[in-house]
Amino acid sequence: MTRQTISPSFFIVITLLFIWLSHYLAVFPHEYAHSIMAWLVGEKENPFALDYGGTSWRNLLLLWNIDENVDYSRMFAQGHDFQAALCAFAGPGIGTVLMFVLGGLFLKEPRIKQHPYLYYFTFWFHLMNLGNLYDYVPIRTFAHGGDIANMVRGLHISPWWVFVLVGYPVAYLMWQFFTQTMISLYVNLTIINLPLQAGIMVLCVLLLFGWFGGILGIIYSGNPLESGEITYFLKIASFVSIPGVISLLWPTRKWIREKLERSYLLRTSLSKGGQMSQVANG
């Protein structure tokens, strides 16, 4: 699958479809990790009993209201603080991290690279899990409710510990995605068309800094400050950074072109080396 082998309209359709499917695939491991951990620590009878959020169009399309169906209030009331912290941690700390690592490994797997559609889908799945990490740290680290709030309450620590200790690794992973993973996508799928490169990059930035940055939570909330002033500030800061990030990552930037040239040269040399090896072994 390259821009040269499929029509632009089909590429747009397959991109939107892959984003939607990868979002679904990323959400369920996260929620089941919460639920299974609650079952393992004796706080839930059925590890697969999620609250699927109803049949509203927004939930069916985006899983807007899905929930792990774990009773944190009861656990805190009974003094099971550590168990509550484990259950809260399991979603992002086990489910999402595991899916992110698997996505990164699959993108480097030669057999995946041989199947362009599978590789392209894995790219978006990898981004979805990175976005989920960014959504929790730093964006919702200081929110009054949710996974991080339950975790720090259960561990009796300040959310600043999570912000500092996890925020830097997440920032590094985001940098790696835009400077390595996205470049590899261009190279492996032979995406040499500038508008297409720009379109993919802009879409990635909008999803990461806009959707996962929480701007919709502000737009559709009756009280944008309900999660706290720090969370509100971080969501706004993420959104307003979008133009600057797009400018920095624009495909005509010198550092982008140099990275692409080096990657194409490396790919060509490896391809020739493989052909010579086949001839020698033949």
Confidence category of residue 101, pLDDT binned at 50, 70, 90: very high
What's the average model confidence in pLDDT over 165-170? Answer: 98
- Stretch among 5-9, 85-89, 113-117 having the lowest mean pLDDT: 5-9
Q: Is the pLDDT of residue 280 over 50?
A: no
Q: What is the largest CA-CA distance in the chain?
A: 71
pLDDT (tens digit per residue) in 26-67: 999 999 999 999 999 999 999 999 999 999 998 999 999 999
Q: How high is the pLDDT of residue 272?
A: 60
pTM, entire model: 0.93
Confidence category of residue 199, pLDDT binned at 50, 70, 90: very high
Q: Is the pLDDT of residue 5 over 50?
A: yes
% of residues, the chain, pLDDT over 70: 94
Based on C-alpha coordinates, what's the Rg of the chain?
21
Q: How high is the pLDDT of residue 276?
A: 38
